Copies of this chain bind each other. A is one copy, B any other.
Amino acid sequence: MTKKISIKDIAKELELSITTVSFVINGKAEEMGISESTINKVMDLIVKRDYTPNNAARLLRTGKSNTIGLIVEDLGNYFFGNVAKVIELEASKRGYNVFLSSTDNNAKTAKELIRKMRNSSVDGLIITPTRGLKDELDKLTADHVPYVLFDRQIHEVDANYVVLDNHKGAYDLTKHLIKNGYEDIGFVTIISEMSQMDERERGYRDAMQDAGLLIDKSQVLKVRFDDPYDEVVAAIGKFVKRRKGLDALFFATNYLGVYGIEALKKVKIKIPYDMAVVSFDDNDLFRLFTPSITVAAQPIREIAVEAIDLLLSVIKSGVKESHSTGKVVSPELIQRESSPPKL
């Protein structure tokens, strides 16, 4: 890079002190009582020379980087990709840069990322936590590093968070099925210590119970997060074949729904004629598939904005005094073709 212009150059050209120039750059000119004509002179030259302060020097001096770290589960995923996009945009509006990375839900990766980002002096972090991240998060708290969790919380950690009302989403989705006449509703989820999966299951169970419908064991399928694609598809296929009476299927998460569509296709079950289908989380496939799939959608923009605002408020107010606050946003039930009134 070419030699950049520095505050010293500006000061020299104007025959002013560095201090004076610095004051006007940082908007402290007024309160320091710099004359208006001086302010204007400086402002003009800054524009003319296209001067921008050196961030590294500023950071070194002030300890403020105006950068936040964003750690998501999977950037290649519709939900996280779009959340990242909105957070980046909103952060930018507020004068912040964003370091971005994916964990692939791997705790070791997550720990390394947190470490690396702290090392890069981020002012704060927005994190989709993985399992086994408690110690790392406690360390952040102990070191007064502002952070907010999103998409899921870790119950043992007292942290700021933004999450979806997963119980409500699952409850509403189940109720929608029941109202449309479905009774033998299967539930497909992943084995997980993640709070949000538990709550979705609770939502499903509560809605069934409130409608006086019993759930037996063969009605719920749990697969492992890291099971390979083929196995999961096969497991879902076997599940629906074995349990004869099912008239509807609830997929607890985005990617399970995608796998589930594939599985039903393979075992030649037609949606919605043979079986209604609903899923948590929206995506392009669900919207455009024939039939389109009924979902409980996460309000991406709202989640992103809440997360960045919460983080910046913590950064500004300082971590110590503020108690942890949690935001819960409501999912949106989007009724589509996959769950019509039962014939």
Which A residues form the contact surface with B (CB < 8 A)? Answer: 1-2, 52, 54-57, 59-60, 63, 65, 67, 74-78, 80-82, 84-85, 88-89, 92, 97-102, 116, 118-121, 142-145, 258, 261-262, 265, 283-285, 288-290
Do A1 and B283 touch (CB < 8 A)?
Answer: no
Do A88 and B75 touch (CB < 8 A)?
Answer: yes
Do B289 and A55 touch (CB < 8 A)?
Answer: no
Chain B residues with CB under 8 Å of A77's CB are: 81
A120 to B56, CA, bound (A): 8
A121 to B67, CA, bound (A): 13
Do A75 and B75 touch (CB < 8 A)?
Answer: yes
A102 to B77, CA, bound (A): 16
Q: Which residue in chain B gives the minimum CB-CB distance to A300?
A: B76
Copies of the polypeptide in the assembly: 2
Count chain B CB atoms within 10 A of each CB in A75, A143, A285 and give the residue with the most.
A75
Q: Which residue in chain B gives the minimum CB-CB distance to A283?
A: B284
Do A116 and B97 touch (CB < 8 A)?
Answer: yes
Do B76 and A85 touch (CB < 8 A)?
Answer: yes
Contact of A1 among B76, B82, B145 (CB under 8 A): B145
Do A56 and B52 touch (CB < 8 A)?
Answer: no
CB distance from A204 to the nearest CB of B (A): 24
CB distance from A292 to the nearest CB of B (A): 9
CB distance from A138 to the nearest CB of B (A): 14
Chain B residues with CB under 8 Å of A285's CB are: 284-285, 288-289
Contact of A99 among B54, B57, B81, B98 (CB under 8 A): B98
Do A265 and B290 touch (CB < 8 A)?
Answer: yes
Pull 21 A–B residue pairs with CB atoms less than 8 Å apart, ordered by A.
Answer: A1-B118, A1-B145, A52-B119, A55-B120, A56-B121, A67-B120, A75-B84, A76-B81, A88-B102, A92-B101, A97-B120, A99-B100, A100-B100, A262-B288, A265-B288, A284-B284, A284-B285, A285-B288, A285-B289, A289-B289, A290-B290
Q: Which residue in chain B gives the minimum CB-CB distance to A146?
A: B1
Chain B residues with CB under 8 Å of A143's CB are: 1-2
CB distance from A296 to the nearest CB of B (A): 19
Q: Considering the complex of A and B, which 8 residue pairs feature the smallest CB-CB distances, nearest first?
A: A81-B81, A76-B82, A75-B85, A56-B59, A100-B100, A56-B60, A285-B285, A76-B81
Chain B residues with CB under 8 Å of A97's CB are: 99, 116, 120
Chain B residues with CB under 8 Å of A118's CB are: 1
Q: Which residue in chain B gives the minimum CB-CB distance to A83?
A: B76
Q: Given A55-B120, A78-B81, A97-B120, 7 more contacts at CB 8 Å?
A: A54-B60, A54-B121, A75-B84, A77-B81, A80-B81, A89-B102, A285-B289
A144 to B74, CA, bound (A): 34
Q: Which residue in chain B gives the minimum CB-CB distance to A77?
A: B81
Chain B residues with CB under 8 Å of A85's CB are: 74-76, 102
Chain B residues with CB under 8 Å of A81's CB are: 75-78, 80-81
A54 to B65, CA, bound (A): 12
Q: Which residue in chain B gives the minimum CB-CB distance to A66?
A: B120
Do A144 and B1 touch (CB < 8 A)?
Answer: yes
Do B258 and A63 touch (CB < 8 A)?
Answer: no
Q: Which residue in chain B gives the minimum CB-CB distance to A117?
A: B97
